[in-house]
């Protein structure tokens, strides 16, 4: 169900992108939109992982430098049937984590210094398992594509402002229609992107709990991160808000923004589902990440 819903939402986002191109420039506008999407997604496929790691000032860590962290990632990756991802550290005191990479063979897991300091080994295992679930589901690529498409829609809408108005034969809309597209298209793209992100978070929570074998470890980690993250500013994330959906908990200070515009599902609901999963699994089915 989650996979079908994600595919439907990506199709909707792609259709919205091509429609914006057509509405702003007719058939030639749709063709330009298609070429832009093709180029941006091609770039994102090959370069997005390095770009996001650079923007968050992540640095690689080795087994010699962090034997417990690297060993835990290795054991959980083995549980998940995944190749060993690269491990990165973000020097911020906000507890958080994300995964990136175009496929499981070219993946990375990044955790913050604050996460290592705040979480127990079991809670850290739950968080890492969640990120490995994103890799196993290819969510890192899915979210890169959706972010790229959403950004491209915003680019087209801004570009429309500079389009010549003297001859509107290629533009099926008048001035008022063009202005509406400029305002509403980026908003619609953002809402679809957030719906995809929320869907993938629930799926990653479930698979992550299966990988680690203890749903409550992830539930406890989510509660702790939610409590602590709001009081710590994540500078790189605040400067690059488009990457907020990658993190296990929203790293931004949202203030009074309505939940409709949040990139993550409510943490309380995620915890409730994990608790229900733990209750249904029964005590005899739990296993540790090193077992």
Say whether 131 is catalytic: yes
Q: What DSSP element (H or E) covers 99?
A: strand 97-101
**Residue closest to 101 by CA, chosen among 126, 61, 137, 129:** 137
Which one of 131, 201, 210, 226 is the catalytic residue?
131
**Residue closest to 221 by CA, chosen among 139, 129, 286, 99:** 129
Could you give the residue ranges of the DSSP H alpha helices within the chain? 2-55, 67-80, 113-118, 121-136, 139-160, 175-212, 215-229, 235-239, 267-281
Write the CA distances from 270 to 97, 124, 219, 248, integer angstroms: 16, 17, 8, 11
Query: For the chain, what's the residue count?
Result: 291
Residue 255 DSSP SS3: coil
Rounded Cα–Cα distance for residues 3 and 11 (Å) = 12
Residue 85 DSSP SS3: coil
Residue 82 DSSP SS3: coil
Cβ atoms within 10 Å of 170's Cβ, excluding its own = 13
Catalytic residue annotation: 131
């Amino acid at each position: 169900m989650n996979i079908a819903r994600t595919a439907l939402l990506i199709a909707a986002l792609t259709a919205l992108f091509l429609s914006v191109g057509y509405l702003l420039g007719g058939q030639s506008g749709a063709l330009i939109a298609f070429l832009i999407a093709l180029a941006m997604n091609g770039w994102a496929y090959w370069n997005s992982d390095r770009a996001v790691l650079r923007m968050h000032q992540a640095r690689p860590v080795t087994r010699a430098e962090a034997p417990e962290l690297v060993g835990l990632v290795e054991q959980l990756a083995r549980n998940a049937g995944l190749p060993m991802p690269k491990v990165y550290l973000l020097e911020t005191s906000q507890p958080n984590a994300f995964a990136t990479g175009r496929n499981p063979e070219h993946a990375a897991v990044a955790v913050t210094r604050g996460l290592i300091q705040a979480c127990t080994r079991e809670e850290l295992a739950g968080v890492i398992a969640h990120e490995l679930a994103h890799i196993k589901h290819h969510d890192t690529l899915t979210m890169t594509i959706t972010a790229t498409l959403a950004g491209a829609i915003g680019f087209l809408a801004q570009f429309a402002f500079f389009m010549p108005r003297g001859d509107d034969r290629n533009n099926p809309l008048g001035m008022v229609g063009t202005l509406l597209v400029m305002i509403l298209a980026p908003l619609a793209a953002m809402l679809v992107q957030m719906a995809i992100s929320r869907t993938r978070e629930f799926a990653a929570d479930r698979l992550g709990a299966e990988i680690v074998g203890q749903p409550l470890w992830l539930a406890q980690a989510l509660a702790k991160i939610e409590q602590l993250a709001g009081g710590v500013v994540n500078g790189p994330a605040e400067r690059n808000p488009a990457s907020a959906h990658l993190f296990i908990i929203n790293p931004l200070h949202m203030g009074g923004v309505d939940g409709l515009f949040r990139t993550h599902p409510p943490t309380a609901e995620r915890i409730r589902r994990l608790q229900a999963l733990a209750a249904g699994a029964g005590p005899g089915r739990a296993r540790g990440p090193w077992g």
